[in-house]
Chains A and B, each alone.
Chain A
Amino acid sequence: MINKILVFLSFILVSCGSSNILLSPEMCASTGTWAVDYSKVEEQQLVKQRGLGFYITKKVWTPLGLFKTHTVYLRDLLKLGEIECSDVYNLDYTVYGDWQDALRSFVPFMGSKTVSISGTIDPITKTREYRELIRDSKIIIYEEE
Chain B
Amino acid sequence: MTVGAGGVSSTIAPPAPASQPEGASWKSSVWARAAAVVVGSRVVFMLLAYAASYFLSADTEGTPERGPLDIWVHWDASRFLSIAEHGYDGSNSTPNGTAFFPLFPVTIRALTAAGFNAVAAGLLISAVGSWVALAYLYRLAESEEPGTGRSAILYLALWPTAVFLIAPYSESMFLAGAIAAFYYARRSSWHLVGIPAAVAMGSRFAGVFLLAGLAVEFLSQRDFTAKRVANAGLSLVIGLLPLLAYAAFLSQIRGDPFYFFVDQQQGWGRTLTDPLSAWTTSVDRLDLAASGNMMAAYRIEIAAALVGLGLVAWAAVRRQWGYATYMGLLLAALATSTEYMSIPRILLTCFPAVLLIAHSTHRNKTAHEVYLAATTVLMALGVVVYTRGGWFF
Indicate, yes or no, whether A interacts with B: no
